[in-house]
Amino acid sequence: MAKGKQQNYSESFKWKVDQEVLAGKFTKEEAKRHYGIGSNCAILYWMRKYSGNKNYREAVRINEDFSFMGKKLPEQMQSARIKELEEQLLREKQRADLWQAIVEIAEDELGVNLKKKYGARPSIKSKNKEQQ
């Protein structure tokens, strides 16, 4: 390849090279020589762009399923983030329900109102305890 001439590579080729480097099959320099890639930083750029792995130096398994290639990576990342947040929201709702049940059971068994009311002032007993 002539020096200074930009070469265009297919998305699947870039992904394949990226995954081979991340899996440890080649170093970036070895992959560059093996595939005849002219750019000094193309593979590093591809690793950042396609891996979806913030720590792109960590090895990952090669994914032979290229069906995701039709989607843009940011959409994939957004979808994964939405799923993660939905799961977190579900856990927090379950936690809130559990605490609500605990408070209701404690109120029934102890006969004491445990729910705080907005703007409530401490009782005289509480004020006296704080001053002691």
Report the candidate in 11, 25, 24, 9 with the shortest Cα–Cα distance to residue 68.
11
Q: What is the pLDDT of residue 91?
A: 93
Q: From residue 81, give the alpha-carbon distance in Å to each of 37, 74, 88.
A: 34, 10, 10
Q: What is the pLDDT of residue 71?
A: 57
Q: What is the pLDDT of residue 1?
A: 47
Assigned token pair, 48: 């950042």
Q: From residue 99, give the alpha-carbon distance in Å to each of 30, 32, 51, 114, 119.
A: 57, 57, 41, 12, 22
Q: What is the pLDDT of residue 126?
A: 57
Residue 81 CA to residue 75 CA, distance in Å, equals 10
pLDDT tens by residue, the chain, 132 residues: 445 566 788 888 888 888 888 788 888 889 889 998 888 788 888 777 766 655 655 555 555 555 655 555 677 788 888 888 999 999 999 999 998 888 888 888 888 777 766 666 766 765 565 565
First to last CA, the chain: 86
Domain residue extents for the chain: 7-66, 71-115
Q: What is the pLDDT of residue 88?
A: 93
